[in-house]
């Protein structure tokens, strides 16, 4: 799922293409992508784009007369910049937003349809999408610490909780915790002052680094291939591959449809964290230290 760095790059690309432009119309190839009944898409024809911004992991296109298009790409939703009036792409096409100089296409690969569009009128209507998470790039160390301590969770869960922190998901939380040299399962109320400082710095540095990297990769083009896994990541999506810092194989914890990746030597003092599925299956044979694996 695109997270803060990816969404920021999308916003920059959108601003270059549709900022100040008049929306000629909205075409829906899949009616289920639109999750609101009122206002109707026809009521947005002729509206001028006054800005684009991020709300958590959502993209908000602002138009005049307090009209808003809120788009959540979810896991497989993607934007494509097409020729004016272009057909919505094949089976993966969900919608098209027509402008004078081009068409913004919304697509979603796979069989699951999770991406969504909400059409809203009135600034107060945006409140339903504000989860209240802290914008880390604007936060002081004290504000960051206060958000982290609002609820007792593991640092991994807290970083990815949209009520606590805005725009951070599974991928970049792995990278943040690796940079901070912290176990993903350490409890927030057990962090000492040095660990709080490391986590604050690592969060901001990691998000800034990846925003700059993705911006460079996209160049002037539209970032059509934003994805969760990037070759330059330290641990996320790199299970079994060598940690770029110490060379130990990256470990993982699998749960539901997600997994947490970490380096046991860098983050947990060499201890392998129990994977609910595999550790229960292997029981006594489950290697508890990274030395047993290497």
Strand intervals (E) in 222-263: 251-255, 258-262
Q: How far apart are CA 128 and CA 120, in angstroms?
A: 11
Strand intervals (E) in the chain: 25-28, 49-55, 58-63, 67-72, 77-82, 93-99, 102-108, 116-121, 251-255, 258-262
Residue-level pLDDT, tens digit, the chain, 294 residues: 789 999 999 999 999 999 999 999 999 999 999 999 999 999 999 999 999 999 999 999 999 999 999 999 998 899 999 999 999 988 899 999 999 999 999 999 887 889 999 999 999 999 999 999 999 999 999 999 999 999 999 999 999 999 999 999 999 999 999 999 999 999 999 999 999 999 999 999 999 999 999 999 888 766 655 566 788 999 999 999 999 999 999 999 987 678 899 999 999 999 999 765 544 433 443 334 333 333
Which structural domains are found in the chain, ordered by start?
4-129 (3.20.190.10), 136-293 (1.10.8.50)
Q: How far apart are CA 293 and CA 163, in angstroms?
A: 37
- Are residues 276 and 255 in contact, defined by beta-carbon separation less than 8 angstroms? yes
Q: What is the pLDDT of residue 288?
A: 44
H or E, element range at 277: helix 276-282
Q: What is the DSSP letter of 48?
A: B
Q: What is the DSSP letter of 190?
A: G
For 91-145, the DSSP string reads: TTEEEEEEETTEEEEEEE-SS----EEEEEESGGGGGGG----B-GGG--HHHHH
Q: What is the pLDDT of residue 278?
A: 44
């Amino acid at each position: 799922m695109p997270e803060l760095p990816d969404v920021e790059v999308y916003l920059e690309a959108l601003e270059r293409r549709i900022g100040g432009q008049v929306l000629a119309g909205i075409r829906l190839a899949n009616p289920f992508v639109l999750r609101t009944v009122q206002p109707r898409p026809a009521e947005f024809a002729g509206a001028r784009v006054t800005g684009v911004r991020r709300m958590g992991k959502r993209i908000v296109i602002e138009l005049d007369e307090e009209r808003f298009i809120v788009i959540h790409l979810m896991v497989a939703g993607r934007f494509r910049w097409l020729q004016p009036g272009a057909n919505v792409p094949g089976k993966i096409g969900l919608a098209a937003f027509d402008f004078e100089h081009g068409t913004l296409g919304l697509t979603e690969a796979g069989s699951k349809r999770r991406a969504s569009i909400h059409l809203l009128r009135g600034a107060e209507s945006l409140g339903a999408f504000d989860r209240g998470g802290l914008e880390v790039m604007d936060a002081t160390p004290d504000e960051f610490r206060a958000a982290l301590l609002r609820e007792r969770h593991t640092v991994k869960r807290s970083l990815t909780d949209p009520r606590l922190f805005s725009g951070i998901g599974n991928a970049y939380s792995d990278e943040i915790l690796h940079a901070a040299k912290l176990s993903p399962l350490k409890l927030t109320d057990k962090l000492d002052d040095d660990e709080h400082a490391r986590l604050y710095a690592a969060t901001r540095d990691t998000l800034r680094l990846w925003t700059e990297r993705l911006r460079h990769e996209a160049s002037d083009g539209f970032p059509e291939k934003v994805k969760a896994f990037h070759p330059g990541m330290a641990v996320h999506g790199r299970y079994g591959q060598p940690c770029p810092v110490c060379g130990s194989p990256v470990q993982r914890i699998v749960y539901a449809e997600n997994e947490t990746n970490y380096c046991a030597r860098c983050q947990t003092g060499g201890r392998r964290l129990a994977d609910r599925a595999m550790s229960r299956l292997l029981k006594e044979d489950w290697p508890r230290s990274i030395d047993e694996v290497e």
